[in-house]
Amino acid sequence: MPSHQAPIISTNAFCSGQFAPHGEFRIQCLDGLLCYEAIGPFNLEAVRALGPARRQAFERWASTPGTRPAVLVHWQHSALMSPEAFAAYHAGLSATVQSLAMPPVVAWVAEPELEGMDFMVERFAKVFADSRIEFRLFTDWREAERWLRARLAEADQR
C-alpha cells in the first residue's frame, strides 16, 4: 500500500467483546479509492469491529449519491479467520451492500505465498458474487488500482 498521510480509520478503535482483537483493518481514502490494509489473521472481535469502521469510511468518503465505491484491500501476514469471523464478515458485508446505491467493486492485493490466501479467496469470491460485487485478486498494487479505475470508468459511461 502506498504511504500517504491521509486520515486512517482503524478497527482497533471499534473493538469490544470477550477477547482482544487479533488482526486489524486500517481504512483510508487515497485518490478516491477506499484502501484497506488487512493485517491478519483475524478473530471474531477484529471482524466485528470492521462493520462500524467500514460504515464510518463509506459515510466519510464514499457517500456521494450515485457513485460506485471502489475498494482496494492490501493483505499482510495472513488472510485466515475463524469460521465465526468469516460468518461475521459475510453478514457485515451484506448489510453494507444493502445500504449502498450500487455495490462496490473490490480488488485485493496479496503476495502469492500469503498465509491462507489460496484457501480464503475461494470463500470470499462466493461472498462477493452473492452480493453482486465485482472482485479480482492481484499480486501488484498498481495493476489492481488500474483495474479498479477502469471498472469505475466503465460504470460512469453506462
CATH number at residue 17: 3.30.750
Domain annotation covers residue 90: yes
Tell me the C-alpha distance between 87 and 138, whole Å. 24
Question: Mind listing the pLDDT tens digit for each residue in 134-144?
Answer: 999 999 999 99
Domain annotation covers residue 48: yes
Decide if pLDDT at 95 tops 90: no
Tell me the C-alpha distance between 96 and 133, whole Å. 12
Domain annotation covers residue 141: no
Phi, psi (deg, nearest 5) at residue 111: -65, 145
Domain annotation covers residue 25: yes
Domain annotation covers residue 77: yes
Domain annotation covers residue 156: no
Instruction: State which residues form the domain around 94.
Output: 11-132
Tell me the C-alpha distance between 46 and 21, whole Å. 5
Domain annotation covers residue 44: yes
Cβ pair 74, 1 in contact under 8 A: yes
Domain annotation covers residue 52: yes
Tell me the C-alpha distance between 69 and 103, whole Å. 7
The partner residues of 26 in beta bridges, in order of sequence, read 10, 37
In order of 28, 41, 93, the CA distances from 17 in angstroms are 25, 17, 20
Tell me the C-alpha distance between 37 and 151, whole Å. 21
Domain count of the fold of the chain: 1
Question: Mind listing the pLDDT tens digit for each residue in 31-73?
Answer: 889 999 999 999 999 999 999 999 899 888 876 666 678 999 9
Calculate the average pLDDT of the chain.
89
pLDDT confidence band for 5 (50 / 70 / 90)? low
Q: What is the pTM of this model?
A: 0.90
CA angle 1, 37, 77 (to 5 degrees): 95
